[in-house]
A and B are shown apart, each in its own frame.
Chain A
Amino acid sequence: MKKLKVLGLGILISSFLTISSIADQIKIGTEGAYPPWNSKDSAGNLIGFEVELANELCKIMKHDCTIVEQDWDGMIPALVSRKFDAIMAGMSITGERMKTINFSQGYADEVASLAVMKGSKNEGLKTMSAINLSNVSADEKATLDVLTKAFKGKTIGVQTATIHQNFLESGLMGNIKIRTYKTQDEVNLDLSAGRIDAALAAAVAFTDYAEKSGKGVVLTGPTFAGGDFGNGVGVGIRKGDSKLLNDFNAAIDKARDDGIISKLAIKHFGFDASM
């Protein structure tokens, strides 16, 4: 009987050992609903810029990686509770998120933009073509004034827990109604159905949708960067996981030097969004 107990204990311990001995296997979480960053094909396989980049980075790090899907609004809690070890989901590096998790250096960046339906009064607003919120100049202030006037009292849709939502809530857009959605797909659906007057997201999220759906979604106003829009998109990593953080930073350096990030960015975005 005692032998059996010892045997059982042995099996138990060895099963724990096997789990810890495959630590080089890492799981990367992505949303699979934010094209062209990450999305799914019709068969349900994860595809997109970050899926391909993750595989390249893992090759460089010599880690055995699996990419898993996670809803956007539970992304950071899932990382913290160890459902996976890294986030590559078009997640911008922001001070607010840095309170909870760490980020690698940025690997790509792209601007945000408002979108409306063709024929909307706010189509083709006369503004600067781009503004940077880190250091707002007088011209940029004037552009923001145009926007607050144009969208006064309007309903703007945005995906929940994003830099875009933070910006809309910052008050820089003035008096607007904000409606939050679980996914960008739902924002696009309600924009084209006319339930919301405008939407804010990464500019490519709209152009990609307009191209694939044939719906008359058009960008309007300036593109946004800086300030609430963060410092580019990086790999999210649990605090204290410094080895993995260093691995990712080194791998991103290597991938950038080898031109892998640029090449993948041009393939998926149509322009070089790498950084």
Chain B
Amino acid sequence: MDFDLMFTSFPKLLGATAVTLKLLFASLFFGLIIGLLFAILRLNKNIFINKFAYGYSYVFRGTPLLVQIFIIYFGLGQIEYLRSTFLWVILKEPYWCAIIAFTLNTGAYTSEILRSAFQTIKPGIIEASKSLGVSNKIIFFKIQIPIAIRQSLPAYGNEIILMMKGTSLASTVTLMDLTGVAKYIISTTFKPIEVFIVAGGIYLFMTFIVHNIIKFLEKKYYFNS
């Protein structure tokens, strides 16, 4: 075991963690918006809107994230027409390709989490509000959404952790995230065990943080519905 290497690679890996966190926060942010949007579409009574939203989550939950990122990065890059459009400004950059893939992926899972959370809200709560003359808008924003968020916390916390580990796939499209830099150090030192132990430790620590934040929020917003 080369402890010197573990010490010298630690600051480099910590620096790369910034890239990992940027990817994670950007995709969680956009993913949450898309997820909420598609969750609402899923609850729509119009069969076409409903099926469209279902199709999206079905496709992105049913294919591996690695395949999605490869299709977006290497696949779309092969379409000559696309390269002459303004879209290429975004798709040219591996960073944005990774964020698009992660966003669409986490958006699909988030929409399912939120949909099931909306559906667990007891109809009685809404009926009671209506009978008190509360407007639909206020019911949605002040009653349904807060309850849905509370209900989805455990599952969404899981999704954050899965997505954090998923960002390691960014290294397959030339990005120097935590895994990318770990692989780079290995390629010059040929010592995978030491470097991956340090990188794995950093991932574990981030999971620990996320896990505890979610646990705290769950306690804070605890209620018995």
Is B one of A's binding partners? yes
* Residues of chain A at the chain B interface (Cβ within 8 Å): 73-74, 76-77, 80, 96, 100, 157, 160-161, 179-182, 186, 189-190, 193-195
Q: A160-B184, A186-B74, A190-B77 given as contacts; is B92 within 8 A of A195 (CB)?
A: yes
9 smallest CB-CB distances across A and B, nearest first, come from: A161-B187, A193-B77, A76-B190, A100-B190, A179-B174, A77-B192, A160-B187, A73-B187, A77-B190
| In the bound complex, CA of A178 to CA of B77 (Å) | 19
Q: A182-B172, A194-B92 given as contacts; is B183 within 8 A of A73 (CB)?
A: yes
| In the bound complex, CA of A15 to CA of B189 (Å) | 35
Residues of chain A within 8 A (CB-CB) of B74 are 186, 189-190, 193
| Least distance between A223 CB and chain B CB atoms (Å) | 24
Residues of chain A within 8 A (CB-CB) of B92 are 194-195
Q: A180-B174, A193-B83 given as contacts; is B186 within 8 A of A77 (CB)?
A: yes
Q: Of all chain A residues, which has the CB nearest B187?
A: A161
Residues of chain A within 8 A (CB-CB) of B192 are 74, 77
Identify which of B83, B174, B188, B191 contacts A181 (C-beta below 8 A): B174
**Sample of 9 A–B contacts (CB below 8 Å):** A73-B187, A100-B190, A161-B187, A161-B188, A179-B94, A189-B74, A190-B74, A193-B74, A195-B77
| Least distance between B212 CB and chain A CB atoms (Å) | 35
Residues of chain A within 8 A (CB-CB) of B187 are 73, 160-161
B136 within 8 A of A: no
In residues 74-132 of chain B, which contact A (Cβ within 8 Å)? 74, 77-78, 83, 92, 94
| Least distance between A274 CB and chain B CB atoms (Å) | 28
Q: Report the interface size for chain B: residues with CB under 8 A from the other chain.
A: 16
Question: Could you tell me if B77 and A80 are in contact, using CB atoms closer than 8 angstroms?
Answer: no
| In the bound complex, CA of A193 to CA of B186 (Å) | 29
Question: Could you tell me if B186 and A73 are in contact, using CB atoms closer than 8 angstroms?
Answer: yes
| In the bound complex, CA of A100 to CA of B2 (Å) | 13
Residues of chain A within 8 A (CB-CB) of B77 are 189-190, 193, 195
| Least distance between B44 CB and chain A CB atoms (Å) | 38
| Least distance between B200 CB and chain A CB atoms (Å) | 16
Q: Of all chain B residues, which has the CB nearest A99?
A: B190
| In the bound complex, CA of A191 to CA of B192 (Å) | 29
| Least distance between B176 CB and chain A CB atoms (Å) | 8
Using an 8 Å CB-CB cutoff, how does the interface string of B169-208 with A read, 1 for contact, 0 for none?
A: 0001010000000011011101110000000000000000
Q: Of all chain A residues, which has the CB nearest B180?
A: A180
| Least distance between A236 CB and chain B CB atoms (Å) | 11
| Least distance between B22 CB and chain A CB atoms (Å) | 18
| In the bound complex, CA of A55 to CA of B210 (Å) | 53
| Least distance between A255 CB and chain B CB atoms (Å) | 28
